[in-house]
């Protein structure tokens, strides 16, 4: 049996004013920059690892509030052999935690509720970290609007255990640096290398012979050795001079001469010649080896062992396939892994229930996750196939506009820039074609679950309106339909909307740009221009509907160049967006 840090709550740390995150054995944290992903890893480090790195900048500060303390609660639960939460701890873990730390929750199950409080000590001018064991695990917010951090701290008691080591691996990792530092995981492993006395003598004798051969067969090294013997004339010594040892002389100095080579077919290259991707990846794999070593020691001593790893951006410097491979390797490490990432490939590689998406609203940082209880297996499959596998960038959207057709997908980015004065990318907005009016549901469920603001611009044919409305109702979204869905004018698709809204000249201008370059003479151009100018609404609609990918961008460009107002329904959509992005523009 094992354990799991099931829940962490944080108040007052950096940008995390008040947040609760439920964790899995492997948890992947997604979200835009500056939403608090790294801060959560820092909170885990303070609570379960080394808290001596706390500084003034780690305390939450806002325009109307400065926090004078950081509160971090973690709840540890027992797990059975199938990695399911159970109600009691094994004898080993019970003996480690003792009755002083094990409590009963409201459901009658045993838990270990722990609290860390960090405050400033004005006498020592340092930051003080105090550890407590809570009497129970309170609600995040009770019926009296009292938050968890307002409850009593409980009894002061240490809870840093060697059996639950915490490892923080930041994004700036490098195997070359690990090789230089004795306190790195690689350095610690090398320092634990042990040989029998017989093996030491045999290996050092072989090294001695190798050094002698290397020197004797090189005239340069031999001359240097002979010359250095003159030191004896100035030193009170009876030695034979100075030895030159191209190779490490003593086993205890093994780490000083250690090199790592990666082979490519018949050639091998030292790690110094590899890029940051290989070096970063190697550093993570060394950690995996270190954890395996600790696990073997624990098994040999029949001791409990549960490492917790916080890994920041494992994808750094790696190509997509390598990112996927590395994620599978990290998943195989014993213990609990909490990973922050900006990689859609890492996010797409994990299970949906492992994803936690951090988002920032106008007041604080929140966390969204996909609720599996309310979804059928087919619903989950559609989210993975239609959204995550093809639109992984949505994990990192500030907001999403869902649309049906190709014309909208080309025109909306230009209208967006006209309205907001910046491109969608600059505001973190993704404009996503869902591939047909019947495909909105998995996208709505995905965005709602991860608390990403979303909007729909939909065609208004009767069957489309009915379908989109039914999908919205089936999603059980807490939003109001009118706040997030904008239908075009009655009966229109996007092409018909452009015609009926009076953009005839702009449409003709777009058609001219396509047709005139194909004319073979000036006379042909004049005739074609007269023909296009005479087109009625029906003909214009027929042309732009038959070649949507060709005309969407050109029509929008012509509308903007002629300084016409963007379509009313598009403006209505952007008005709904405006409250979200006004706060973004002010940041």
**Predicted confidence (pLDDT) per residue in 113-126, tens digit:** 999 999 988 777 78
Q: What is the pLDDT of residues 429-483, one digit of tens each?
A: 999 999 999 999 999 999 999 999 999 999 999 999 999 999 999 999 999 999 9
Taking alpha carbons only, the member of 291, 274, 548 closest to residue 405 is 548
Write down the pTM of the prediction.
0.84
Q: Which two tokens stand for residue 408?
A: 């909208």
Q: How high is the pLDDT of residue 587? A: 45
Q: How high is the pLDDT of residue 61? A: 82
Is pLDDT of 133 > 90? yes
Q: How high is the pLDDT of residue 235? A: 52
Average pLDDT over residues 536-565: 92
Q: How high is the pLDDT of residue 29? A: 96
Least confident of 48-57, 79-88, 135-144, 498-507: 48-57
Taking alpha carbons only, the member of 381, 380, 382, 364 closest to residue 372 is 380
Is pLDDT of 584 > 50? no
DSSP states along 326-391: HHHHHHTSSSEEEEE---HHHHHHS-GGGEEEEEE-SS-EEEE---STT--HHHHHHIIIIIITT-
DSSP states along 140-152: SB-TT--BGGGS-
Q: How high is the pLDDT of residue 226? A: 75
Average pLDDT over residues 232-248: 63
Share of the chain above pLDDT 90, in %: 54
Q: How high is the pLDDT of residue 376? A: 87
What does DSSP say about strands 103-104 and 336-340: parallel, antiparallel, or unpaired? unpaired
Residue with tokens 């973690």: 74
Is pLDDT of 269 > 70? no
- pLDDT grade for 585, boundaries at 50, 70 and 90: very low
Q: How confident is the prediction for the chain on average, in pLDDT?
A: 87
Q: Which two tokens stand for residue 354?
A: 């492992």
Least confident of 245-249, 425-429, 526-530: 245-249
Classified as helix, coil or strand, 169 is strand
Taking alpha carbons only, the member of 147, 161, 155 closest to residue 117 is 155
| Cα gap 190→184, rounded to integer Å | 10
Average pLDDT over residues 513-530: 88
Q: What structural domains does the chain harbor?
A: 2-164+306-360 (3.40.50.300), 177-283 (no CATH), 378-587 (no CATH)
Q: Which two tokens stand for residue 258?
A: 């250690």
Structural element, H or E, at residue 489: none
Contact 77, 111 (CB under 8 A): yes
Average pLDDT over residues 27-45: 93
| Cα gap 419→564, rounded to integer Å | 12
Q: Which two tokens stand for residue 102?
A: 């094990």
Average pLDDT over residues 16-38: 94
Beta strands in 225-335 (DSSP E): 261-264, 267-270, 308-312
| Cα gap 98→103, rounded to integer Å | 10
Neighbours of 575 (CB within 10 A): 11
């Amino acid at each position: 049996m094992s354990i799991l840090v099931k829940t962490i709550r944080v108040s007052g740390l950096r940008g995390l004013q008040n947040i609760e995150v439920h964790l899995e054995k492997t948890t992947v944290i997604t979200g835009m920059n500056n939403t608090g992903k790294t801060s959560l890893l820092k909170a885990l480090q303070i609570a379960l690892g080394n808290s001596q790195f706390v500084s003034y900048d780690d305390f939450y500060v806002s325009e109307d509030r400065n926090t004078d303390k950081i509160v971090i609660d973690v709840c540890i639960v027992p797990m059975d052999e199938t990695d399911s939460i159970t109600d009691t701890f094994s004898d080993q873990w019970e003996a480690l935690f003792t009755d002083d730390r094990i409590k009963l929750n409201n459901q009658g199950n045993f838990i270990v509720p722990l609290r860390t409080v960090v405050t400033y000590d004005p006498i020592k001018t340092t930051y003080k970290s105090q550890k407590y064991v809570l009497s129970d695990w309170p609600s995040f917010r009770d019926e009296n609007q009292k938050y968890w951090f307002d409850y009593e701290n409980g009894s002061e008691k240490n809870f840093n255990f060697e059996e639950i080591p915490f490892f923080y691996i930041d994004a700036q990792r490098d195997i070359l640096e690990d090789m230089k530092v004795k306190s790195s995981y690689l350095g610690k492993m090398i320092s634990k290398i042990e040989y029998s006395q017989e093996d030491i003598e045999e290996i050092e004798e072989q090294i001695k012979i190798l050094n002698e051969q290397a020197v004797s067969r090189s005239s340069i090294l031999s001359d240097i050795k002979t010359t250095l013997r003159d030191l004896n004339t100035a030193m009170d010594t009876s030695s034979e001079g100075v030895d030159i040892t191209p190779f490490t002389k003593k086993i205890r100095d093994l780490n000083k001469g250690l090199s790592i080579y990666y082979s490519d077919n018949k050639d091998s290259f030292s790690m110094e010649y590899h890029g940051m991707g290989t070096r970063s990846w190697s550093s993570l794999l060394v950690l995996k080896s270190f954890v395996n070593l600790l696990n073997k020691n624990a098994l040999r001593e029949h001791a409990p062992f549960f490492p917790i790893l916080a890994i920041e951006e494992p994808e750094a410097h790696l190509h997509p396939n390598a990112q996927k491979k590395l994620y599978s390797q990290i998943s195989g490490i014993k213990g609990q892994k909490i990973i922050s990432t900006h990689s859609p490939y890492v996010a797409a590689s994990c299970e949906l229930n492992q994803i936690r998406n951090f988002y920032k609203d106008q007041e604080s940082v929140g966390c969204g996750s996909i609720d599996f209880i309310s979804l059928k297996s087919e619903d989950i499959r559609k989210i993975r196939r239609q959204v995550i596998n093809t639109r992984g960038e949505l994990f990192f959207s500030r907001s999403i506009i869902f649309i049906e057709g190709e014309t909208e997908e080309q025109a909306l980015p230009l209208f967006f820039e006209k309205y907001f004065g910046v491109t969608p990318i600059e505001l973190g907005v993704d404009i996503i074609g869902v591939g047909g009016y019947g495909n909105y549901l998995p996208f709505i469920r995905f965005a709602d679950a991860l608390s990403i603001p979303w909007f729909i611009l939909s065609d208004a044919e009767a069957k489309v309106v009915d379908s989109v409305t039914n999908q919205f109702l089936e999603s059980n979204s807490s939003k109001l339909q009118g706040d997030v869905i904008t239908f075009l004018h009655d009966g229109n698709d996007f092409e018909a909307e452009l015609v009926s809204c009076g953009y005839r000249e702009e449409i003709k201008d777009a058609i001219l740009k396509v047709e005139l370059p194909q004319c073979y003479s000036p006379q042909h151009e004049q005739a074609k221009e007269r023909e296009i100018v005479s087109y009625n609404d029906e003909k214009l609609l027929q042309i732009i509907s038959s070649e949507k990918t060709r005309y969407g961008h050109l029509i929008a460009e012509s509308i903007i160049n002629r300084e016409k107002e963007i379509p009313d329904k598009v403006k209505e959509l952007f008005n709904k967006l405006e409250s979200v992005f006004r706060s973004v523009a002010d940041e």
